[in-house]
Amino acid sequence: MSPNIGVIVFPGSNCEKDTIEALTDLGASPRLLWHADRDMGNVDAVIIPGGFAHGDYLRPGAIARFSPAMEAITNFAENGGPVLGICNGFQVLTEAGLLPGALQKNAGLKFLCQEVELRVENTNSVLTSQALEGQTLRIPINHFEGNYTCSDETLHELQIGHRIILKYSENPNGSVADIAGICNDNRNVVGLMPHPERACHTLLGSTDGRVLLKSFMEGAHAKV
Amino acid sequence: MVYDAFIEVNLREGIADPQGSTIEKATANLGFEGVVNVRVGKCIRFQIEAENEVNASSVVQELCDRFLTNPVIEEAIIKIQVVE
């Protein structure tokens, strides 16, 4: 059975179709969901894709977090449903309080659009269950506000809880502890700045994103 | 009553401010000596109707906490003034 995955579209999202394409190619049954809808139509998992929800006005994710769909996603996540935020989606999840910390402007003040090397730090999450610990993945980043920031206490919690799941091999944006992706306490909510959906086909230069999306599909399947 | 609300949003102390440090370097490059601790924030202004200043302040404070700032990295300085 191929999992039903909802991809939330906000005004200003721009990676939803890439995400649908990659998931379809991997055998999932994805569909777009509108941010203003509370009803998520019994999906098995939810992805908040990249882009600039509501123009990133005020702060990335600051307005998106109050969308009706976010209420539904919060309930879904609390019930163990797999939730993935990619790039802007990660920013939305931190603003919504589903993941700790915040993403601020890159240390070098440059919009970064490049392939980076990631290291899988932990495989106990809905995004990394099929990957190998220590595995390196080449996946693109595409952001201006990807500099992960949190308090020392939060960083300590992330570290002792093994909730840092992906790190940059070479820190491109100033993120604390080279963090590229984290998960929540229950390991069903995950956020990362890199774009796995853009590394799912040889034509795109890398297929390293597939193992992450496959893991997520497996998590969605387990939910079924 | 109608009040003017002026909110200054700044990065919390200890949070790196890449814009501030870039501007600081530029001031030195331009020949301005002794410009230090440059921090960049933003200001948000609006008017708000409330029964009195205390009520206006408490609404604006809540608005800042829930929406206008991200308390993880930012803090707000709020000024409220009755519209003349």
pLDDT at B79: 97
Residue A21's alpha-carbon distances to A58, A88, A116, in angstroms, are 31, 18, 22
- Give the A window 62-81 contacts with B, CB below 8 Å: 62, 66
Q: Does B80 touch chain A (CB under 8 A)?
A: no
A33 touches A9 (CB < 8 A): yes
Question: What is the number of structural domains in chain A?
Answer: 1
pLDDT at A41: 87
User: Stretch A119-128: mean pLDDT, rounded?
Assistant: 98
Residue among B16, B11, B71, B12 nearest A175 (CA): B16
Report the distance separating Cα A219 and Cα A204, nearest Å.
Answer: 25
State yes or no: pLDDT of B74 exceeds 80. yes
pLDDT tens profile A178-223: 999 999 999 999 999 999 999 999 999 999 999 999 999 999 988 6
The verdict on whether A87 is a catalytic residue reads yes
Catalytic residue among A16, A95, A145, A197: A197
The C-alpha of A80 sits at a distance from chain B's nearest C-alpha, in angstroms, of 25
Q: In chain A, whose CA is at the least distance from the CA of B16? A: A107
- From chain B, the residues in CB contact with A94 under 8 A are 72
- From chain B, the residues in CB contact with A107 under 8 A are 16, 18
Question: What is the number of structural domains in chain B?
Answer: 1
Residue B48 sits in a domain of what CATH number? 3.30.1280.10
Other Cβ atoms less than 10 A from the Cβ of A37: the count is 15
Residue A142 sits in a domain of what CATH number? 3.40.50.880
pLDDT at B84: 80
Q: How far is CA A50 from the centre of its chain?
A: 8
At residue A207's C-alpha, the angle toward residues A86 and A42, to 5°, is 45
The verdict on whether A195 is a catalytic residue reads yes
pLDDT tens profile A42-77: 899 999 999 999 999 999 999 999 999 999 999 999
Look up the domain containing B46 and give its range. Answer: 2-82
The verdict on whether A95 is a catalytic residue reads no
Report the distance separating Cα A211 and Cα A137, nearest Å.
Answer: 9
Q: A147 is written with which tokens?
A: 């500099």
Contact B16 A66 (CB under 8 A): no
* CB nearest A104 (choices: B67, B68, B73): B73
ipTM above 0.90, yes or no: no
Look up the domain containing A80 and give its range. Answer: 4-223
Other Cβ atoms less than 10 A from the Cβ of A1: the count is 8
